[in-house]
Chain A
Amino acid sequence: MTIVKTTYNRRSFLQTTVLAGGGMMLGFSWLASCNPTPEEVLNMPKEWFNINGFLKIGENGVVTIMSPNPEIGQNVKTSMPMIIAEELDVDWKNVVVEQAPLNTDIFTRQLAGGSQSIRQGWQSLRMAGATARHMLREAAAQQWQVPVAEITTAMGVVYHEKSGKSVGYGEVASAAAKIPVPEEVQLKDAKDFKIIGTSRKNVDGNKIVTGQPLFGLDYRREGMLIAMIAHPPAFGMKLKSVDDSAAKAMPGIKDVFTVNIYNEGYEKQWSDTTAFEELVVVVGNTTWEVMNAKKALRIEWERTSAAENTEGYMAKMAALTAKPATQLRKDGNPEAAFKSAAKVIERTYTAPFLPHNTMEPMNFFAHVTADKAELVGPIQTPEFMEKTVAARLGLPLEKIDIQMTRQGGGFGRRLYGHFVVEAAVISQKMNAPIKLVYTREDDMTQGVYRPAYHVTYRAALDANNKLIGFHIRGGGIQDSPVHADRFPAGAIDNYLAEDWTLDSNISTGAWRAPGSNFIAGAEQSFLDEVAEAMGKDPIAFRLELFDRAMKNPVGKNNDYEAARYAGVLELVREKSGWGKNDPAGVHRGVSAYYCHNSYVAQVIDMVLENGKPVIQKVHCAVDCGIVVNPDAATNLVEGGIVDGIGHALYSTLTFKDGAAEQSNFDKYRLIRHSEAPKAIEVHFVNNGIDPTGLGEPLNPPIIGALANAMYKATGKRVYDQPFLAGGQILG
């Protein structure tokens, strides 16, 4: 039995309000209750937490649970309310879920990022439900004049067994709203869970399959105009002059003008990342009219910094990896180990820039008047953007109202909300409600990209083929993918990790599992090659390293639990029949990785058909602790695997003269139906540990399993993503 105190910041934790129409509403501050570690606070924005929400119970027993976090497809709009409903002890059928508004007066932070929603929300969401349940019990106890300890609940009904009395939550909610918030509440034992651990359908499923308005692009308001932006055609360019005479004369066009999205001297926050601040805007009645008018603009641009190209930055990155870089971690004496080595294996891995390509392009609705701004749309960082918009418009924070729609994908792109500010500035200028719409070309060529990366791994083997030294040196465009304290740090006596970063005028940022989305594939390919050189089975080799890290870890601050790491690898070995029941004629690759607090191991079964890799099956073991919503979690696992395979095989954004060479899906490749694995089998470790997230941990390791299976299929190792850039025929 877990008892949690609700006392550590009582004033901000719970506010009980009796609603006008009866019923009970709880508002709570999640920052006070989620107990973040100081390290996590300091590392903002890499870790994001601090959730907000509230619930209300109607007279009829229907419970509305506000889902605090942005929904980008990770299914938190279903799974977070499930956690509240569990502790509240209601029938899920009677729960209505609504997207919570951004309200920093009542709530703290609402953010989608870092796979942290469930992990950071777990305790707070449970406490919210449990607190409400306690107050309902207390109210019934007072009504019936019996001790509260004798009161039980089930499925939205309060019971007093001795007297045989019972009352629905709805009937006692009004009285419960007047009960003081308890000092502490009791949480359920995991064995008593009735909702957590059971599969519940997406709460927006029906609206999605019937095409009801849900997304930012679907939003409309009476009198709303459509706005589009002409950006510079390449990075390192800015506006010189614009001839808008033709565009302005076109039907349906209201205005064409130039805006600066930040005030002079404005100090950008991390979420303000964008390469272009001075923009040409076209505003008109309808999307088609504005699209056409934008094409009719005659704009002169001028270069302000270097015109980068793919060959150039690849060469610069290679030069940086070739020389000593910033030392991040050193264990033992790696120099001596490599000097004395009988054999050194050295391999270099690269990956290109990637756009996010959310299926719903960037967009936002804004209605700015003299004294307030109303903003509606898809954004992963509403609280951060509220601050930026307030600063830009010169309005106080409380006059900025941001509402979150369902988001047609996030993947990190909507952490960077320049488009929210753009919409606000355009609305202000037009003195009208507007919806800013990016075309796919705008979206793909003006991105905040996954950085291009470059890393070299070296392994030292002694005369007995023992691994005695390990060296990693790498970096990327404005971001390093090297996580020095992650595996295999801690498992090898002599270890050195170094990194560098390279500046660029191309804007880069977080992209589904930042850094890990490259380094996991490189590391897991390299370990496969090292195991082969040592004559060891790749799973057995990794398990030996984990065993070392468990029993006699090297160094400090190892950022993983070796036992859980080994656990997923052992599980996938068992479930795939690795080494025992390997399917005939099938080429297998394995990998394991830990990031964003969850452990994943995967085996790919590949065959070649007409020179193309066909993935017959992916076996996947996941340790994310308690699985809140198993079928939805499985969906997310499947999706991460498909996404990871697709980007590693096919996707690349190259640059010429500072401009992206792929601007739409005719040239840019995303994985398609026929290229997805034929089957994906998912196994969750059942260990009762508090849950962690699934949005990001799945796509990084699959790249390694893929590369290792391709090697088995072709006899050739692959080092440079995308592995099938040129549509190669394999085998």
Chain B
Amino acid sequence: MAIFNLNINGKKQQVDVDPATPILWVLRDHLNLVGTKYGCGIAQCGTCTILVGDIAMRSCMLPVSQIGNQAITTIEGLSEDGDHPVQKAWLEHDVPQCGYCQAGQIMNAVALLKANPKPSDEEIDGAMNGNICRCGTYVRIKAAIKAAV
């Protein structure tokens, strides 16, 4: 066990955990931020995507010991009132079916748009390919990303 001082959604948080604990479980079990979801545990489905700085990362394989002082943003911290352009575009396109993978999809899309505000269809496919949706909302996700400005 070790103490880690984390910067999550603009707030300082202290946790005392096994240093190998993936940040996913620190968020979910220790900080009660359950918007970030568990899907596969091996960084293959994208369901657990968070932002580390401006970069989309799979939180399920990212040990808390590697975070250091980098700012973490989760779906809960994306906006005060759910009015981030990507969140608004998701609502406008009524993207979710079951909704479980959507936090990861949104966080990945946010990182994509930060790096590339006007991605082509191919660039969207390339950036989003690691995020699985079993309900098959891919067509709407692409439309929402293109509309999010």
Contact = CB atoms under 8 A, between A and B. Distances in A.
A679 B146 CA distance: 14
Q: Give the interface residue-count category, chain A.
A: 35 or more
Nearest to B125: A674
Contacts of A631: 94
A217 B34 contact: yes
A727 interface: no
Interface residues of B, number: 63
B30 to A, nearest CB: 7
B128 to A, nearest CB: 4
A378 to B, nearest CB: 9
A272 interface: no
B101 to A, nearest CB: 5
B29 A287 contact: yes
Contact of A359 (B20, B25, B78, B101): B101
Q: Residue among A360, A631, A666 with the most chain B CB within 10 A? A: A360
A359 B132 contact: yes
Given A638-B137, A672-B132, A677-B139, A210 B87 contact: yes
Contact of B100 (A209, A360, A441, A639): A360
A559 B47 CA distance: 41
Contact of B98 (A226, A409, A640): A409
Nearest to B92: A201
Interface string B72-96: 0011101100100001001100111
Interface stretch (A68-76, A326-334, A476-484, A705-713): A68-76
B124 interface: yes
B98 A72 contact: yes
Contacts of A208: 96, 99, 102-103
A548 interface: no
Contact of B40 (A202, A218, A286, A440): A440
Contacts of A73: 96-99, 135
A372 to B, nearest CB: 26
A646 B102 contact: no
Interface in A49-92: 72-75
B61 to A, nearest CB: 12
A664 interface: yes
A357 B134 contact: yes
Interface string B9-47: 000000001101110010011101111111111101101
Given A288-B18, A636-B97, A665 B45 contact: yes
> What 8 A-B pairs have minimum CB-CB distances, sorted nearest first?
A211-B35, A408-B100, A642-B136, A73-B98, A211-B75, A674-B125, A639-B136, A665-B44
Interface of B: 1, 17-18, 20-22, 25, 28-30, 32-42, 44-45, 47, 74-76, 78-79, 82, 87, 90-91, 94-103, 106, 121, 124-126, 128-142
Given A73-B98, A209-B87, A217-B37, 6 more contacts: A74-B97, A210-B75, A286-B21, A360-B39, A638-B139, A674-B129
